[in-house]
Amino acid sequence: MNARDGAMFDPTDDDSGYPLERDFPREEYLLRVQRAREYLRAADVDALVITSAAVGQWFTSRLEPSAWHDRVQARSAWYILTQDGDYLYSTPTNNTHFSALRRSIWVSEIRPIVERAPWPRTEIWDVEQIGDAFRVLGLERARLGFELGDNMTLGIGVHDYLRLRDLLPDAAFVDASAVVRRLMSVHTPLEIERLRIACAAGVWIHEQVPLVLRAGQTERQFLGLLSARFRERYGPEYGYQPGGGWDVRNAESGDSSRYHAAITDRVFKAGDQLTRGDSGASYRGYGADVDRIWYLGTPPAVVREWYRIAWECNRAMAQAIRPGARCSDIFAAFASVERKHGLPETRSGRCGHGLRNTGGLSVHPDNHTVLEPGMVISVEPMLGNAHGYYDLEDQFLVTETGRECLHTPAPEDLPVIPA
């Protein structure tokens, strides 16, 4: 404690300092909390307990707090939402972190987890104080909803979870994954707009490929030129990752570089087919997962044919998106085109997904999740032969009456780059 103006002053209570921009407006936070409370009431859950960064940052910020246990194992953060309160319990981090939290998130009450634990426990926070926190909140007999189901990652260790159950013997620890999946899959207008902006940037950087790529360049040179163009066009709210998701195949040269993340010095040449299974672009943390294909030189007939089949799959899958349809219906549309052209049955798994894995949206024959307005789901047919990887991915918003592509869709004709 420090003395200030004749009174004892705790630095963790000080929210002064340079203003920090919040991840989203207060109205957006209130909307997210309102939806969560509605879903909790419908599920007969008294409190939502979030310990993973994947879900916790949706309520707080993609930047704060930094010490979610699944990100920083020595520390911990707990977001607890009830019908009449919202709380973040976090480790103070040398008496400075709470000031940043108060300036960068909208959670009503931020409370400390003391960095203290009895040996031989190696984490520097003790789970027993979490039990005390639930008792202070009057939740010692409540139905506590945790991230326990499909597509969930519980952001604490299993022993801590079991110990907490022992500490609160009169509380019911229940699976709140249905609540979390709905929160993560039915998006707010702000989320949809940010994804739309990101996708526009993703399509733009893909359009630069034919303008930049030339035979004789190395992959490193090519990606450097793309990065420079992105920096010149977009501001600090955008991000671009040049590496990752690139697949380069050449049926004649013998030096194909299949799906990879490392940036190499391989030289591009005639006969290369390029696919990127992403765009690398993002806006305020929302990534533009838009996949495209190009060919360097004169494509053989087989390349044009397989590109056309991939595009036909993409279109058929898009037509299957509507409220009331199932994820498996979108996959069935892909499989029907595959059979029509006599291709082997795809056995690699899903061919599309939602914006977040925690939302449980997966274009897979065994995923029967029903689509509803506000969901975003991609169509991503994935085919491959010796000449190339045929992956055309577009992002679709489920509307009240059908679907809306959030960006310019994949071109019908294969983009060809002179060699």
pLDDT in tens, the chain (419 residues): 333 333 334 555 556 678 889 999 999 999 999 999 999 999 999 999 999 999 999 999 999 998 899 988 888 999 999 999 999 999 876 555 788 888 999 999 999 998 888 888 888 889 999 999 999 999 999 999 999 998 899 999 999 999 999 999 999 999 999 999 999 999 999 999 999 999 999 999 999 999 999 999 999 999 999 999 999 999 999 999 999 999 999 999 989 999 999 999 999 999 999 999 999 999 999 999 999 999 999 999 999 999 999 999 999 999 999 999 999 999 999 999 999 999 988 777 889 999 988 899 999 999 999 999 999 999 999 999 999 999 999 999 999 999 999 999 999 999 999 99
Per the CB < 8 A criterion, the answer to whether 331 and 351 are in contact is yes
SS3 assignment for 97-117: HHHHHHHHCCCCEEEECCCCC
Per the CB < 8 A criterion, the answer to whether 394 and 203 are in contact is no
24 φ/ψ sector (left φ>0, alpha ψ -120 to 50, else beta)? beta
Cα–Cα distance list, 91 to 96, 118, 278 (Å)? 10, 16, 36
Domains and their CATH numbers in the chain:
2-185 (3.40.350.10), 189-417 (3.90.230.10)
SS3 assignment for 315-370: HHHHHCCCCCCEHHHHHHHHHHHHHHCCCCCCCCCCCCEECCHHHCCECCCCCCCE
* Single-letter amino acid, residue 389: Y
Joined tokens for residue 275: 């696919």
3-state secondary structure at position 264: coil
Q: What is the dihedral of CA 232, 234, 240, 246, to 10 degrees?
A: -70
